[in-house]
Amino acid sequence: MPVLRYAFTLNAVRELGRLAPDIARARAAASLDASLLHIREACTATLGMEFDTLVCFDARSVVRLFSHAEQARILARLVDERARTLAQAGRFQEALEDTVYAGHLLSCSRQRFGLPKDARAAETLEREVPELP
């Protein structure tokens, strides 16, 4: 069963890699609504959960829902992308809140999964998902 869960998680990371260029293009086009829609769709496709619902809860509670550190990293990456999108649109207070929340997600991931697993999750995400401009 753990192998199946890890395969599902790795598939989620690859799906994020496939969707990352769409998110970057929408942000580059300065289309706030399109960017936010792509972020929501990426969250649903990769994690199977709604983005807006997940970010309503505190980071520790959200990380407890996940079985692998990669899932927490995926959500942190999506929250960070929303922060960048909001900052580009001039909504700096919301962008700052998202940046802080992404940091809390990563911190809670390290606490729950341990530093070695979180470091492997970071390496997997770097390898599979292109860096967004």
- Residue 126, both tokens: 């770097």
Average the pLDDT over 32-46 and give the result.
86
Whether pLDDT at 98 is above 70: yes
The pLDDT assigned to 68 comes to 83
The average confidence (pLDDT) of the chain is 80
Which long-range contacts (C-beta less than 8 Å, at least 24 apart) are formed by 121-124?
121/68, 121/69, 121/70, 121/72, 121/73, 122/73, 124/10, 124/13, 124/70
Q: What is the pLDDT of residues 47-66, one digit of tens each?
A: 888 999 999 999 999 999 98
Whether pLDDT at 129 is above 90: no
